[in-house]
């Protein structure tokens, strides 16, 4: 860069010497004194052009170098952060949200069994008056909408009971088949259900029993989306429509990169 700069600089000085006008005779009075430097400047103008351009060029190159280095450092940092994130996700994907429950055919199921599948999961109970059937109906609509779109991976709908006392394997089988042929009902012992619900931060509490030994179970309402790594990816509350959920699931599918 220095060599490059020297060339035009030297030439400019040569040019300046040749073009310098003869020194005007000294004249008394302020006007003449003021005039001289002004003329002097106007003569020095053109040779300064290349010098200024060179300086600008050097500054620009230097700046670009600095900027490039900064960008490279930032990219490296970002890559490191991404690696850490992937590692954390990988650990979470394996450990988080695990469960061991019985499906509505009596087979033991744990989270790892659903690896490689997108899962939509809802917690409720079969004696639920209105919200659970509504939400399950919505969940099934989402699955059907996604099934209708070509090229999308299948989604496994799952219904987990929060009322293991009444919802045994047979009760779950009776219930789920009315919604979707692939809807899987999961139940288990009181402890197993408590553990599964805890993993997904689902609150539930059985209300008082009436003369018929009937009761309502109060519980949190959300549809959970798990990605094929088994990682909790999103959740949808009551306010979301089937269309909105299907759109969101599709976006997650498009953005999905396995960390396992």
CB count within 10 Å of CB 11 equals 12
Q: How many helices (H) and strands (E) does the chain have?
A: 6, 9
Instruction: Report whether 168 contacts 132 (CB < 8 A).
Output: no
For the window 41-70, what string marks contact with other proteins as x by the rule CB under 8 A? ------------------------------
Rg (CA), the chain: 37
Q: How far apart are CA 233 and CA 47, in angstroms?
A: 66
- Considering the rule CB under 8 A, would residue 193 count as an interface residue with other proteins? no
CB 179 within 8 A of CB 236: no
* Contacting residue, 31, 37, 210, 257, with other proteins by CB under 8 A: 210
Residue of 114, 204, 215, 235 that binds other proteins (CB under 8 A): 215
Contact predicate 125/206, CB 8 Å: no
By the rule CB under 8 A, 133 interacts with other proteins: yes
For other proteins, which residue of 76, 78, 87, 178 counts as binding (CB under 8 A)? 178
Residue list, annotated binding site for Cu cation: 128, 132, 219
CB 225, min distance to other proteins, A: 25
Enumerate residues 111-130 that contact other proteins by CB under 8 A: 126-127, 129-130
Task: Please state the closest distance from residue 178 (CB atom) to other proteins, in A.
Answer: 4
Q: Are strands 155-161 and 184-187 parallel, antiparallel or unpaired?
A: parallel
* Residues 134-173: x where in contact with other proteins by CB under 8 A, - otherwise, as a string: --------------------------------xx---x--
Site string for other proteins, 216-245 (x = CB under 8 A): x-----------------------------
Of 191 and 211, which CB lies nearer to other proteins in the complex structure? Answer: 211
Instruction: List the beta bridge partners of residue 119.
Output: 156, 226
Dist. CA 187–CA 195, nearest whole Å: 12
Helix H or strand E segment including 205: strand 204-206
Task: Pull the structure tokens for residue 213.
Answer: 């030994």
78 counts as binding other proteins under rule CB under 8 A: no
Widest distance between CA atoms in the chain: 124
- Residue ranges binding other proteins (CB under 8 A): 126-127, 129-130, 133, 166-167, 171, 174-175, 178, 210-216
């Amino acid at each position: 860069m220095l060599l490059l700069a020297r060339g035009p600089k030297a030439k400019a000085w040569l040019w300046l010497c040749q073009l310098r006008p003869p020194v005007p005779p000294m004249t008394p009075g302020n006007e003449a004194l003021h005039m001289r430097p002004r003329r002097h400047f106007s003569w020095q103008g053109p040779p300064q052009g290349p010098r200024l351009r060179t300086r600008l060029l050097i500054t620009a190159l230097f700046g670009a170098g600095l900027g490039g280095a900064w960008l490279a450092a930032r990219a490296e940092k970002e890559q490191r952060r991404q690696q850490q994130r992937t590692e954390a996700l990988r650990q979470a994907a394996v450990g988080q949200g695990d469960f061991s429950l019985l499906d509505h055919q009596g087979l033991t199921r744990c989270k790892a069994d659903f690896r490689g599948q997108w899962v939509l999961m809802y917690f409720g109970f079969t004696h639920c008056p209105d919200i659970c059937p509504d939400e399950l109906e919505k969940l099934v609509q989402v699955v059907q909408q996604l099934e209708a779109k070509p090229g999308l991976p299948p989604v496994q709908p799952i219904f987990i009971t929060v009322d293991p006392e009444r919802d045994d394997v047979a009760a779950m089988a009776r219930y789920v088949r009315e919604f979707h042929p692939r809807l899987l009902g999961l139940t288990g012992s009181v402890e197993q259900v408590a553990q599964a619900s805890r993993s997904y931060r689902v609150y539930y509490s059985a209300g008082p029993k009436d003369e018929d030994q009937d009761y309502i179970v109060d519980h949190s309402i959300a549809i959970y989306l798990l990605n094929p790594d088994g990682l909790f990816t999103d959740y949808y509350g009551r306010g979301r429509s089937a269309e909105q959920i299907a759109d969101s699931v599709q976006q997650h599918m498009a953005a999905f990169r396995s960390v396992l």
